Chains A and B, each alone.
Chain A
Amino acid sequence: MSFVIASQVALWIGLLVLGVVCMALARQIGVLHQRIAPAGALSLRQPLKLGDATPEMQLPALDGSLVQIGGARGGRSQMLLFLSPGCTICEALLPAVRSAQTAERQWLDIVLASDGAADDHAQYVRDKGLAKFPYVVSEHLGRSYGVAKLPYAVLIDEAGKLVSTGLVNTREHLESLFVAKETGIKNIQQYLSQRGQRRATSGE
């Protein structure tokens, strides 16, 4: 009987240690979340203001099909992701873009966009397995949205209005555009400004 009691005590001690370790790990994840937050796409100066109607364009994709950019598109939103074959950050972002296309497919279409020689882009599409995305090569499109740095994303809502734009270097930046649409907070600058006001009001 003493062996049973001893083993039970040992098991409870083991469980206690396990619980403490789990708690410490989970706490550490929480601390990490707090340290990296808030993460959002940095919005740059642009010709279109957030909430403006976007210009409606019909542009040819690399595969020869016509892609409608901007304007009302049958109740679906559209994200334009500007990238370039020579941009290493763009390449690092591609897995997150593929993941977002699957996770947000109920409401969102993703269009890849760039400018330059079409042959280079066709090769890029083949190398990186991007055939399932419409890929538009148009300098005019980039100028219309004031794209100066890459990778740059533009989110257009189902009514064809500009919801959010910005530099997107990570998955968090990319998802911040979707969160902007859901919460109505347009960009990281507005979020930080509102948070500062809340803290000042509450005396934090």
Chain B
Amino acid sequence: MGEAYLPGAMQSLAAQAAAFEALLLAASAAHKILRWRQLQDVARQFARVPASLAAAALGVALLAEICAASLLIGVPYRAAGAALAAALWSGYLGLIVRAILQDRRDVDCGCSFGPVSRPLGVFQAARNVALEALAILVWMSARDGAVPVQASEVLAGLALLALYGALDQVMGLRPLRSGGVV
């Protein structure tokens, strides 16, 4: 466990983070394909995209997510993939913050995989900040040399994705009114 071991461990962790982000982006792209019509409404109401451009905007986001996910897997392109992922999450974060500032908290942001009963708030914004920070870390580590994504990294990415999904489900639940348990 000498000093020489640490960079290797960090690169391995960065590869796991890259696998997680790639899987999350792939899941997000699949979500767009499966709920194409519903997410066009989201583009109109949440992102305020004109109705005539909603399908095109959704298509661009879908393409960007697929590109970022693919680039994150390949070692030579990981930095570019991480930069694209960070840019995507920055864009989504901007839309969330804008909706909150405009007091449109009840609008569906399309940022969860299931039905959501909780209005937009700090959680959604913080989640995007965390994803963006992770993408930046992957980008920084990829500049110094990256390790390929292998089976154990994919497994780690899947586990992190499952935990992300669990958190997403829990935070989507309707908040209970305060008071003691009866």
Query: Which residues of chain A have a CB within 8 Å of any CB of chain B?
Result: 5, 8-9, 12-13, 15-16, 18-20, 22-23, 25-27, 29-30, 33-34, 37, 95-96, 98-100, 102-104, 171, 175, 178-179
Q: A99 and B180 in contact (CB under 8 A), knowing A5-B152, A9-B155, A23-B169?
A: yes
CA distance A99 to B180 in the complex (A): 5
How far, in angstroms, from A102 to B177 measured CA to CA in the complex? 12
Chain B residues closer than 8 Å to A175, beta-carbon distance = 177
Q: Are B173 and A19 in contact, with the CB atoms below 8 A?
A: no
A103 CA to B179 CA in the complex, in Å? 5
Q: How far is the CA of A50 from the CA of B166 in the complex (A)?
A: 42
Least distance between B164 CB and chain A CB atoms (Å): 8
Q: A-facing mask of B152-170, CB < 8 A → 1, else 0?
A: 1001101111111110011
Contact A171–B173 (Cβ < 8 Å): no
A30 to B171, alpha carbons, bound, how many Å? 10
Instruction: Spell out B's residues near A (CB within 8 Å).
Output: 114-115, 117, 151-152, 155-156, 158-166, 169-170, 172-174, 177-182
A96–B181 Cα gap in the complex (Å)?
8
Residues of A within 8 Å of B162, CB to CB, are 15-16, 18-20, 22-23
Given A27-B169, A103-B180, A22 and B159 contact (CB-CB distance below 8 Å): no
Inter-chain contacts of A23 with B (CB < 8 A): 162, 165-166, 169
| Residues of B contacting A: mostly | helix
Contacts of B179 in A (CB 8 A): 96, 99-100, 102-104
Give Cα distance in the complex from A29 to B160, angstroms.
Answer: 21
The residue of chain A having its C-beta at the shortest distance from the C-beta of B174 within the complex is A33
Find chain A residues with CB under 8 A from B156 CB.
12
- Please tell me if the beta carbons of A33 and B180 are within 8 angstroms of each other in the complex: no
> Can you spell out 5 A-B residue pairs with CB atoms less than 8 angstroms apart?
A15-B163, A22-B162, A22-B170, A95-B182, A104-B179
Q: Could you list 13 further interchain pairs (A-B, Cβ under 8 angstroms) beyond the known A12-B155, A16-B155, A23-B165?
A: A12-B156, A12-B158, A13-B155, A16-B159, A19-B159, A19-B166, A23-B169, A26-B170, A26-B173, A99-B180, A99-B182, A175-B177, A178-B177
A98 CA / B155 CA spacing, docked (Å) = 49
| Complex alpha-carbon distance, A100 and B182, angstroms | 10
Which residues of chain B are within 8 angstroms of A98 by Cβ–Cβ distance? Answer: 180, 182
- A18→B180 CA distance, assembly (Å): 29
CA distance in complex: A98, B179 (Å): 9
In the complex, which residues of chain B have a beta carbon less than 8 angstroms from the beta carbon of A171?
A: 182
Q: How far is the CB of A148 from chain B (nearest CB, A)?
A: 26
- B64 → chain A closest CB, angstroms: 26
Q: List, in ascending order, chain B residues with CB within 8 A of A33's CB.
A: 117, 173-174
With A33-B174, A171-B182 known to touch, is A22 a contact of B115 (CB < 8 Å)? Answer: no
Q: What's the Cα separation between A15 and B174 when bound, in Å? A: 26
* Residue of B with least CB distance to A28: B169
User: Taking the nearest CB of chain B, how far is it from the CB of A110, in angstroms?
Assistant: 13
Considering the chains assembled together, what is the distance between the CA atoms of A164 and B177 in angstroms? 18
Residues of B contacting A178 in the complex (Cβ-Cβ under 8 angstroms): 177
Q: Which of B159, B165, B172 contacts A30 (CB 8 A)?
A: B172
A27 contact set on B, CB distance < 8 A: 114, 169
Chain A nearest Cβ from B16, distance in angstroms: 9
Contact residue among A12, A95, A100 (Cβ-Cβ distance under 8 Å from B159): A12
Q: Which 10 A-B pairs have the closest CB atoms?
A: A19-B162, A26-B169, A22-B166, A103-B179, A95-B182, A16-B159, A15-B159, A23-B166, A19-B163, A99-B179
